[in-house]
Amino acid sequence: MNRIKMTTPLVEMDGDEMTRIIWQMIKDELLTPYIDLNTEYYDLGLKHRDETDDQVTIDAANANMKYGVSVKCATITPNLARQEEYGLKRLYKSPNGTIRAMLDGTVFRAPILVKGISPVVRKWKKPITIARHAYGDVYKNSEMKIDVPGKAELVFTAQDGTVTRKTIFEFTGPGVIQGIHNLDASIESFARSCFTYALAVKQDLWFATKDTISKIYDGDFKAIFEKIYEEEFRDRFNEAGIIYFYTLIDDVAARLMKNEGGFVLALKNYDGDVQSDMLSSAFGSLAMMTSVLVSPHGYFEYEAAHGTVQRHYYKHLAGETTSTNSVATIFAWTGALRKRGELDGNSELAAFADKLEHATLTTIESGKMTGDLILISDLENKEKLSTLGFIKAVRETLDTLM
C-alpha cells in the first residue's frame, strides 16, 4: 500500500506515563502503517524536561509557531512527590501553561459522543463545547503565605512613577494572599476566537463570569466580549441564526442541566478547567473528550483533555494488563493531521483523519471498548479489551475502510 505523504512537518510533543505508552502504540498501529509520518519530535517527558531545564518545552512551542500545528501527549506537572520520584532539579511549571502562555488563545473541549454511552444528564442530546481561556488568572499568579500580622496591599507603579494602592486585607493572624492578572489583548483574542468558532460550527455562544462579585476584573471580561460582539459579530450571528448569551457562572451551572446541548460555552481559565472535567465525566468519560488550543495568530495545538493516567501506568509497570482508553489521544492525532491536511491542501491526509475517527467510534459501537466505557455503556454485547487490544481492534476496523 502507498503510504500517505506529508509536505509540512507536524510538531509532535511526547509526554509521560501511560499516555506515553499509548502514544507509541497509536503511532505503530494506527499511523505509520498508513502515513509516511513527517513530524518534528520534541520529548516533553519529565526526564527530558529536567535534562534540558525545560528548554524543550519552549523549543516545542516555538516549533508550533513555526509550523502552525502540533499534537501533544499528556505530561506530568511536577509537584513535590514527583520531584522526589524523578529526582528533579526543580519544580517545573505545567508544560501546558508554558505553551499556552506562548501561543495565547483559547482551548476548545468537546465530548466525543458514541452510541451506547448516554450522558448522565438525560436532557443532553448534543455535545457542549467548552471554550476555556488559556491565559492568566490563577495560572500565572503570584502568591504569598502570611505568617505575621500586617497589611497586604495591591500596589501598581505606572511607568511615569505614579503609584496606586489598594488595601487587600489587614492581617491580625496568619493567612494567604494571591495576585493575578489578565490582559485586554488576550481577552479580546479569546472573545474573537469564541465568536469565530461559534460561527464556524453554527452554534450559540454562551459566556459566563462572576461580574456581580468581581466587578472590575470579571467586569472587564464581560465588557470586552460585549464590545467585540456588538462591533464585529452581531450581524454575522443574526445571519447565521445563532445567539450570543451572557450570564453568571452559577446560573450556567443550573441552566446546563436543563438544556439539550449543542452550544459553545466560553469560560475563564479556572472555570473552564473545572467545568470541562465535569462535562466530560457527565458525557461519559474523561477519555472521551477532545481538546484543541486555537491561537489568534493561527496556531493549533491538539491534545487529550485527560492526564497521564498515573494509576494505570503503575499497573503497567508491575506487568499487569491495563485497559486504558486511547480515544482522546487518537482524536488529538486525527485533529492535528486533519488540520495539517487542510492547511497543506492535502485532502488524502484529512480524509485519513476522518476514517480513523470513524473506525474508532465504529469499533466502540460494535461493543469493543476499554474498561472505563464498559462501566457506562448500555450496549448488550460488550467486550472489555486491553489498552493494546482496543487499538488493534480499531486497526482492524480501519483496514476495512482503507
Pick one of 8, 52, 310, 366: the residue that binds ligand NAP (CB under 6 A): 310
Binding-residue total with Mg ion (CB under 5 A):
1
**Nearer Cβ to ligand NAP (21/76):** 76
Site for Mg ion in 266-285 (CB under 5 A): 273
> DSSP class of residue 367?
T
Instruction: Establish if 306 lies at the interface with ligand NAP (CB under 6 A).
Output: yes
Angle (CA) 97 99 103, round 5°: 120
C-alpha cell at 172: 491580625
Instruction: Establish if 74 lies at the interface with ligand NAP (CB under 6 A).
Output: yes
d(CA 4, CA 23): 20
d(CA 328, CA 288): 5
Write down the least CB distance from residue 177 to ligand NAP, Å. Answer: 25
**The entry of Mg ion, ligand NAP, none that residue 324 binds, CB within 5 to 8 Å by partner kind:** ligand NAP
What is the pattern of x (binds ligand NAP, CB under 6 A) and - over residues 228-267?
----------------------------------------
**Nearer Cβ to ligand NAP (104/303):** 303
d(CA 106, CA 191): 9
**The entry of Mg ion, ligand NAP, none that residue 76 binds, CB within 5 to 8 Å by partner kind:** ligand NAP
**The entry of ligand NAP, Mg ion, none that residue 273 binds, CB within 5 to 8 Å by partner kind:** Mg ion
**Nearer Cβ to Mg ion (59/273):** 273
19: buried, middle or exposed (CB in 10 Å: 19+, 13-18, 0-12)?
Answer: buried
**Nearer Cβ to ligand NAP (129/387):** 387
Determine the angle formed by the axes of helices 310-317 and 17-26, rounding to 10 degrees: 80
Pick one of 279, 303, 333, 340: the residue that binds ligand NAP (CB under 6 A): 303
Instruction: Give the ranges where 294-370 is alpha helix by DSSP (H).
Output: 310-317, 327-344, 347-365
Site for ligand NAP in 342-401 (CB under 6 A): 372
C-alpha cell at 162: 505614579
Cross-sheet strand order for the sheet of 244-248: 39-43, 10-14, 69-72, 300-304, 289-294, 106-111, 128-133, 263-267, 204-209, 244-248
Angle (CA) 4 200 245, round 5°: 150
Residue with cell 470541562: 276
Pick one of 325, 334, 360, 397: the residue that binds ligand NAP (CB under 6 A): 325
Pick one of 57, 64, 70, 96: the residue that binds ligand NAP (CB under 6 A): 96
Which residues contribute to the site for ligand NAP (CB under 6 A)? Answer: 74-77, 96, 286-287, 303, 306-311, 324-325, 372
| Residues of this chain that bind Mg ion (CB under 5 A) | 273
